[in-house]
Amino acid sequence: MKVLVIGGGGREHAIVHAISKSPKVDKIYAAPGNAGISELAECIDIKDTNVDALVTFAYEHKIDLTVVGPEASLALGIVDAFEAHGLKIFGPNKAAAQVECSKDWAKAVMVKHGIPTAAYRTFTDYDEALKYIHEQGAPIVLKYDGLAAGKGVVVAETMAEAEAALKDMLLDAEFGEGSVVIEQCLRGTEFSFMCMVDGNNVLPLPIAKDHKRAYDNDRGPNTGGMGAFSPVPLIPKKDVEWSLTNIMQRMADAMVDEGCSFSGLLYGGLMLTADGVKVIEFNARFGDPETEVVLPRVKSDLFSVMLEVASHKLTTRELQISDDACVGVVLASKGYPKSYDKGFRVVLPCLKPNHIIYHMGTRHKGLDLLTNGGRVLMGEALAPTLSEARQAAYNDILPSIYCDNLFYRSDIAKDF
């Protein structure tokens, strides 16, 4: 079978890697892919948002399954466009992608169907929002409603921070015209729960935890994620089971009831609080960098499961998961998540078994490998315990990667 993977980050490298292990797969294309992906797939120079060109490519190359990585493609309705041409594609249609693309819509569905989440209200009027913030007090969370590449959320610890964020979002229209969801600030331990979903059928993957802040000890600005690990012993098994039934399954059922059945990967960004597990957010796609530490633990043929989902016949009831733990550390360009330079030369080691380097932002120039993004590489290891995996990542893999312009956090998976 022929597969097309859309996207060009570490998440897509991990997806291509997992799919390449399937005996059913003969050929993989990636659009646009990256230097690491090009070792497993043929990279084609089409942007993830150029839906028409992607449909044409898939049609002309008789692609059996397309897998969508980024939310931007989903928000444009790439799934609707492929299905209208009779092409199989793994991902939710535009209506179902609202679960990520419209925070207000997702919150309303959660409340209606009794899915636990932070109390909230939505505003478009600045004065009304300001009044609400003053009534509620700090800490308080402000979320710009719409896609803002992970940068649209401010957890304001003080009233001054909350006022400044509100001004940015509603008065200065920094993000464009839109509304703001203002919600109660929850405290607890966050984890990521990804499930394969097709309608009412939900197939869980192992949970993972990412590290969103740029620097050690959770300091510095929020990023796309600076590292991740799986499993997460901090979260008891009974809470994961509870979340599967009362959050992930209930949301899948709710979406069917709402007339926008979800098909693809439903990502729950969850928090274990003193009052149980609550939803921080849902995403309509694989998490990045969680996917990079979860997929290497999956022993089942992921391609077959994705094909079942895309065919709307998800019959697999359980995935085979390795007992090994996985720890991954992101190497990012100095300056990330603010401004940074690209084009620095990278030299990579030969890898031992159970060591992996996923490429997040790289490209080839002749024989050279160059940095080509904010997050550049993810060095990771599989081992019987999290401590051993962490040690292997930090002591064996990271020191063997040469580049002048990269930095990483030294405390990924320190507490688990």
SS3 185: coil
Among the listed ranges 23-31, 184-192, 235-243, 259-267, the one in contact with ligand AMP (CB under 6 A) is: 184-192
Given the complex with ligand GLY, which of 69 and 116 has the nearer CB atom? 69
Q: Which amino acid is at 412?
A: I
Own/partner contacts of 47-53, CB < 8 Å, gap of 24 or more, are 48/6, 48/7, 48/8, 48/72, 48/73, 49/73, 49/76, 51/76, 51/77, 51/78, 51/81, 52/81
Residue 351 interacts with, from ligand GLY, ligand AMP, none (CB under 5-8 Å by kind): none
Q: Which of residues 85-124 bind ligand AMP (CB under 6 A)?
A: 118
Q: How far apart are CA 377 and CA 402, in angstroms?
A: 11
Q: What does the chain come to in residues?
A: 416
Q: Which of 33, 69, 91, 225 lies at the binding interface for ligand GLY (CB under 6 A)?
A: 225
The answer to whether residue 198 forms part of the interface with ligand AMP (CB under 6 A) is no
9, 287, 361, 379: which one contacts ligand GLY (CB under 6 A)? 287
3-class DSSP state for residue 331? strand
346 touches ligand AMP by CB under 6 A? no
Question: Which parts of 281-320 interact with ligand AMP (CB under 6 A)?
Answer: 281
User: Of ligand GLY, ligand AMP, none, which one does residue 211 interact with (CB within 5 to 8 Å by kind)?
Assistant: none
Residue 283 binds what, of ligand AMP, ligand GLY, none (CB under 5 to 8 Å, by partner type)?
Answer: ligand GLY
CB of 415 to ligand GLY, least distance (A): 18
Q: Contact, 386 vs 229, CB < 8 A?
A: yes
β-bridge mates for residue 193, sequence order: 268
Closer Cβ to ligand GLY, 290 or 308, answer by number: 290
- Distance of alpha carbon 300 from alpha carbon 327, whole angstroms: 20
What distance in Å separates the CA atoms of residue 307 and residue 297, rounded to the nearest whole number? 19
Task: From the list ligand AMP, ligand GLY, none, pick the one residue 210 interacts with, judged by a Cβ distance below 5 to 8 Å according to partner type.
Answer: ligand GLY
Q: Which residue from 25, 55, 74, 186 is in contact with ligand AMP, where contact means CB under 6 A?
A: 186
263 binds ligand GLY (CB under 6 A): no
| CA torsion angle 132 133 139 141 (round to 10) | 80
Minimum distance of ligand AMP from residue 103's CB (angstroms): 7
List the one residue from 145, 183, 290, 292 that touches ligand AMP (CB under 6 A): 183
Q: CB of residue 190 vs ligand AMP: minimum separation in angstroms?
A: 6
Nearby residues of 297 by Cβ (< 8 Å), 6 or more positions away: 206, 230, 321, 322, 324, 325, 326, 382
Give the β-pairing of 27-32 and 42-43: parallel
| Cβ nearer to ligand GLY, comparing 10 with 33 | 10
CA distance 413 to 209: 9
380 binds ligand GLY (CB under 6 A): no
Q: Is 210 in the site for ligand GLY (CB under 6 A)?
A: yes
Q: Based on the shown chain and the rule CB under 6 A, indicate whether residue 328 belongs to the binding site for ligand GLY.
A: no
Please state, in angstroms and rounded to a whole number, the distance separating the CA atoms of residues 208 and 328.
11
User: Which parts of this chain interact with ligand AMP (CB under 6 A)?
Assistant: 118, 141, 143, 150, 153, 155, 183-186, 190, 212, 269, 280-281
User: Which parts of this chain interact with ligand GLY (CB under 6 A)?
Assistant: 210, 225, 283, 287-288, 290
